[in-house]
Every structure is written in C-alpha cells, then in structure tokens.
Amino acid sequence: MKKKIMSILMATILLAVVPVVAGVSTTPTEPTPEPTGLFDKTTIRGVVLFPRLTAGGQNIRFFALRLHYRTISLNGEHYSGVVFMQPIQIPNDFSGFMGKAYIFVNFRGSLNL
C-alpha cells in the first residue's frame, strides 16, 4: 500500500515539474529590436510591486514580477514580450489602471528595457 501511494506521489510531482523545466530551458533564438519612436502606443499588463513616482512625478518606477507588453509603432510593426523580475519605468501620463499589485495601462512611447 505504501509503495502504491509513493508511486502516485512521485508521478504527481513529475507531472508538475516537467512543464516548469521545459519552459525554463527554452531560450530565444534571436532578440527582437525594440521601437523607440514617440508615436508608438504601448499596452502593458501584469503583476508589479513597489510602484513609486520618480523624476519629479514625471515617471513611475516599479518592480515587475510578470509583465506582458505590446507596442504598435507608426508604421504598423508590432512588438510584444514578457518581462520577469525586472525594474521598469514608464511615463506618468498613462490611461488605465495601476494598483499596488496589478497594472493595466496604455501610454504613448515604448517600453525601455
């Protein structure tokens, strides 16, 4: 009986670990260029910590636990990606929601990583 329970427990642990290990081992083959124009429109959403104003209230700086961003440039090119565990700074003139732990905002410009 103990052997059966231990084998079920090990199978459950292996099923939980394999997707995590597979996701960590993938690396991007080629970095995508980031747009830097003034006419770009960026949407970001994700889980953040410690939002605070910087540069005299012109920017907001926070620590992104998991942040998904999408930038559409003037010529129609789309850039998107996911940021994990990095400090991020965005302009303060955004439209959307920014709470203490979650963010969903749109702003002009691109996300400087």
Domain ranges within the chain, ordered by starting residue: 41-108
Confidence label for 83 from pLDDT (cuts 50, 70 and 90) = confident
- Residue 52 β-bridge partners: 61
Residue range 16-49, pLDDT digits in tens:
655 555 555 444 444 444 445 567 788 888 888 8
φ and ψ at 76, to 5 degrees?
Answer: 95, 0
Query: Rounded to two decimals, what is the model's pTM?
Result: 0.57
What sign has the CA pseudo-torsion 91, 45, 68, 78? negative
**67 pLDDT above the threshold of 60:** yes
Average model confidence (pLDDT) across the chain: 75
